[in-house]
Amino acid sequence: MSANESFVAGAARGLGGLPQRLVQDGVVEESAMLVALQNAKERRTSFVTQLVSNGTAQARDIAIAAASEFGVPLLDLDSIQLDLDTVKLVTDKLLQKHRVLPLYKRGKRLFLGVADPTNLLSVDEIKFQTGLGIEAIVVEDDKLQAALDKTLEQVDTQMPGLGDDEGGFDLENLEVSGGEEELDKITRDDVEDAPIVRFVNKLMLDAIRRGASDIHFEPYEKTYRVRFRMDGVLKEIAQPPVQLSQKISARLKVMSRLDIAERRVPQDGRIKMKLSKTRAIDFRVSSCPTLYGEKIVLRILDPSSAMLGIDALGYEPAQRELYLKYLAKPQGMILVTGPTGSGKTVSLYTGLNILNREDTNISAGSSAVEMLVSTR
């Protein structure tokens, strides 16, 4: 008998609690459970994490068994919106150490999402740190880790952590085009509030760095979220306090020369952000009134992408030949269609750049989709 087999045979008599329940329910083989327990002990992690990360068991099956064994509620993290103020009751260090997530607070009790209810040390430490009574709620291990990573990133992105300088840019004095409308005193204070200016400018810079195509500012009844569209998929980036909803909207509308007094109808505008003497980024801005405020979407347009040339667009040879053939005709129309992020705008900018010669007159609308070319 090998040393590992001896360990398994000797430890089999010592299973109890959740490990025993998982074995009895057929979720995990006894030998795999004993190995997971040993690995968890050596690596100082939860055996639940070991089982899920190794693919030995499904997180959902473990959560159901744990809720039944300990008589603890089971919650699907995808069904709730986390409150960052509640999360910040516990230090980041403890959250990462024990892989737990504060869900909500009721009076003097804090409801804590856990994947392993046997981790009593985490409950004791968080109870000591917060001074609150702790109620455990079972959640799935894989969803817990994803929610924890996302929440900690949102906490880091919030305004109190912003410095005056980010990546070499002065976030307060970043050069952007602004409106010239006359503002009343309250509104002017709102849009010129330094933290708001830094927050909005930082989001715009982060979106450019991360290759996002859109920024969505979305107000809700009790929350406010900011999402980036990257590779065609929206991803939540920040959750500023909902009380700042109108200030953020006012700042964006002034930057894009929209009527800040008009909140009942959609509006369109643009922002030009100058990053250096040779590079500026355009943002198309659209506002739409909703029940809890104005939703504002910024579409990022980088004119420098047109300088890549048609060979960098990824066209097949036949597609490239057709595009150049019809682009050279004296009249006609080219329709470019496709989902967000598929390259429509870059293709049109490239076409305009090819046609931008001394003998050609070009008139373009505010949207790159509206393109009129005349050779007269």
**Beta partners for 85?**
none
Higher-confidence residue of 46 and 296: namely 296
The Cβ-side half-sphere exposure at 346, using a 13 Å CA radius, reads 19
Q: What is the CATH number of domain 161-301?
A: 3.30.450.90
Q: Has residue 108 got a pLDDT over 80?
A: yes
pLDDT for 274: 85
Digit-coded pLDDT (tens) for 155-190: 655 544 344 444 555 566 666 654 444 444 445 555
From the CB of residue 161, how many other CB atoms can be counted at a distance below 10 Å?
8
The answer to whether the beta carbons of residues 371 and 352 sit under 8 Å apart is yes
pLDDT 10s digits, 196-249: 888 899 999 888 888 888 999 999 999 999 999 987 889 898 989 898 999 999
Q: What is the pTM of this model?
A: 0.49
CATH, domain range 77-157 = 3.30.300.160
Q: What is the mean pLDDT of the chain?
A: 79
pLDDT tens, position by position, 246-281: 999 999 999 999 998 889 999 999 999 888 777 788
User: Domain extents for the chain?
Assistant: 3-70, 77-157, 161-301, 305-374
Measured on CA atoms in the order 312, 313, 315, 318, is the torsion positive or negative? Answer: negative
